[in-house]
Amino acid sequence: MSPFTGSTPPISSWQHLRVAVDETGVATVTLARPDKLNALTFGAYADLRDLLAQLSRERSVRALVLAGEGRGFCSGGDVDEIIGATLAMDTAQLLDFNRMTGQVVRAVRECPFPVIAAVHGVAAGAGAVLALAADFRVADPSARFAFLFTRVGLSGGDMGAAYLLPRVVGLGHATRLLMLGDQVRAPEAERIGLISQLTDEGGADAAAAELARRLADGPALAYAQTKALLTAELDMPLAASVELDASTQALLMTGEDYAEFHAAFSAKRSPKWQGR
């Protein structure tokens, strides 16, 4: 995302999210409606979309942890505040809403820093897709994923799930999960590749924070370009992918981090990554 802004000032306080950024560049974004299992509202979706865009422009964040407060990660869209409300909307309004939810997923995939979902308890519906869109899913044994869209009479391919899930777990598992909406507990989720790292009970937040610190200490520009290529090359033929890789590497080879690696190697010290 471009760092250039117009007249709109940065937002410092987010109404629907709890946001903290530490001195190392690790942002922690917490869904904070524990009494509702962090069910998403229209405002929460919009805040996530706008926050990720703002952090991408500011370029001060090097890794982001997305977590849920209380007993679970996120139970999906709020039944009363979203599902009930959408019954009164016309087609144009419904399209605006569904495009907004998709914009959140695109923002997670397109932001120039790694996103780590710290999952405990339920990750259902839109909550499951948010975790799916992250670059890493760190979960404890209580985690359970459920793509519930068909169970409310909608397509299982919501918010990009039909694009992302087959690429993470394969078409067979994705078909089963998106069509049936069955719950997937942590052991199976790890087996099919839906979980990147399985922790001890209650350890997801700490493990996600540790991974975020590791990423924040690393070569940020290299990570950003790796993430961009992973997304861009999903639908490219091999020849186009190899050419894009070559162009990207050529540009990175002119950067300070590449020269810093050589200097550090020659001096027998650890590199001091600048993200440039």
pLDDT digits (tens, 9 = 90+) for 98-144: 999 999 999 999 999 999 999 999 999 999 999 999 999 999 999 99
Residue 5 has pLDDT above 80, yes or no: no
pLDDT (0 to 100) of residue 13: 85
Asked if residue 160 lies in contact with residue 92, where contact means CB atoms within 8 angstroms, the answer is no
Asked if residue 29 lies in contact with residue 22, where contact means CB atoms within 8 angstroms, the answer is no
Asked if residue 64 lies in contact with residue 116, where contact means CB atoms within 8 angstroms, the answer is yes
Q: For 14-46, what is each residue's pLDDT tens digit?
A: 999 999 999 999 999 999 999 999 999 999 999
How far lies 268's CA from each of 197, 262, 271, in Å?
A: 32, 10, 9
How far lies 256's CA from each of 59, 118, 150, 157, 248, in Å?
A: 17, 32, 49, 42, 15
User: For residue 1, what pLDDT band results from cuts at 50, 70 and 90?
Assistant: low
Helix/strand/coil percent split, the chain, to 5: 50, 15, 35
Residue 2 has pLDDT above 80, yes or no: no
pLDDT (0 to 100) of residue 263: 95
Model-level pTM?
0.94
pLDDT (0 to 100) of residue 127: 98
**Which domains does the chain possess?**
17-217 (3.90.226.10), 220-267 (no CATH)
Rounded to 10°, the helix 91-110/42-58 angle is 40
| Average pLDDT of the residues in 57-67 | 95
Contacts of 82 (CB under 8 A, 6+ apart): 40, 41, 42
Least confident span in 28-37, 76-85, 263-272: 76-85
The pairing of beta strand 122-124 with beta strand 115-119: unpaired
Q: For 224-253, what is each residue's pLDDT tens digit?
A: 999 999 999 999 999 999 999 999 999 999
* Amino acid code (one letter) for 222: A
| Average pLDDT of the residues in 62-84 | 94
Q: For 164-194, what is each residue's pLDDT tens digit?
A: 999 999 999 999 999 999 999 999 999 999 9
How far lies 16's CA from each of 39, 48, 95, 111, 217, in Å?
A: 11, 9, 22, 20, 29
Q: Beta-carbon neighbour count of residue 174 at 10 Å?
A: 23
pLDDT (0 to 100) of residue 10: 84
